[in-house]
Amino acid sequence: MMKQKSAHEPEAEVMSAADVWNDALQLADVLRQNLLKNERMVRLQVPFSFFLSAVESFEREELVILRQRVEDRLAA
């Protein structure tokens, strides 16, 4: 048997499960972006052919991130 509780704001709209899920995804994205902004960067000296070989193995999502990083760097 579920216990009945009162709402702090009884007139407030209750979010749907889909809305809660979307909010959680947006929050996770913001947190991920903040983590990346604070990520420590190091300069890695590797032969360019190794770098190109690694790029060839990237998935589409990784290539999109790489493209954005390169565009940001070129704009700086």
Q: 46 or 65, which is more confident?
A: 65
**Mind listing the pLDDT tens digit for each residue in 8-46?**
777 778 778 888 888 888 888 888 887 777 766 667 788
pLDDT given for residue 41 in this prediction: 63
Alpha-helix runs per DSSP H in the chain: 17-37, 48-56, 60-75
3 state DSSP class of 37: helix
pLDDT given for residue 29 in this prediction: 84
Q: Quick check: 64 pLDDT over 90?
A: yes
Q: Quick check: 7 pLDDT over 80?
A: no
20-32 residues labelled b (16+ CB within 10 A) or e (exposed): eeeeeeeeeeeee
Contact 61, 72 (CB under 8 A): no
